[in-house]
Amino acid sequence: MNNCLFCKIIAGDIPSTKVYEDEKVYAFRDINPQAPTHVLVIPKQHVTGMSGIDEADDATLAACLRACKKVAELEGLTENGFRVVSNCGDHACQSVHHLHFHVLGGHQLTENMA
Ligand code: AMP
């Protein structure tokens, strides 16, 4: 999508620090990390967010969640644990309207989810 920040990152038009990539997914470090490890996992196909998905996106979603686990392994998070978050819409403060999963870890995360 033309004006989408994350589509530009996938295309290489905006620089990013790659952590993982496969046919369907790209993962890179968040520019404003909220934890020692903060990686964004995004589908290469543009999807606006959780509210924009349907059955046609099942394979994309599965690839994203598998990639979250892969990122956690690559970043050494699986032993102590990690969190996966996807913000959707205004109340969740979604700021980039391309589906993404935050993979957070590397220290004790708080119990407060909201
Ligand atoms: P959200 O607020 O859930 O939509 O998450 C968007 C995330 O994208 C935020 O955590 C931002 O820090 C991150 N972000 C914005 N621009 C960039 C960029 N150029 N490179 C890496 N992460 C970015």
How far is residue 90's CA from residue 17's CA, in Å, rounded to a whole number? 27
The verdict on residue 112 lying in a domain is no
| Number of domains composing the chain | 1
57-114 pLDDT, tens digit per residue, is 999 999 999 999 999 999 999 999 999 999 999 999 999 999 999 999 999 999 998 9
Residue 55: inside a domain: yes
Ligand 1 atom closest to Cα of residue 30: 22
> The pTM is what?
0.98
CB atoms near residue 108 (< 10 Å):
9
In single-letter form, the type of residue at position 15 comes to P
CA of 2 relative to ligand 1 center, distance in Å: 17
Domain of 51, in residue numbers: 5-98
Contact between 19 and 28 (Cβ < 8 Å): yes
Q: Let me know if residue 26 belongs to a domain.
A: yes
Has residue 50 been placed in a domain? Answer: yes
Domain assignment present for residue 106? The answer is no
Which of these is catalytic: 91, 97, 98, 100? 100
Pocket lining for ligand 1, CB < 6 angstroms: 5, 14, 16, 30-32, 40, 87, 93-96
Is 66 contained in some domain? yes
Catalytic residue status for 100: yes
* Residue 38 burial (10 A CB sphere; 0-12, 13-18, 19+): middle
Question: How high is the pLDDT of residue 113?
Answer: 87
User: What is the CA(100)–ligand 1 centre distance, in A?
Assistant: 9
- Is 108 among the domain residues? no
> How remote is the CA of residue 28 from the centroid of ligand 1, in Å?
10
CATH number of domain containing 57: 3.30.428.10
Contacts of 17 (CB under 8 A, 6+ apart): 28, 29
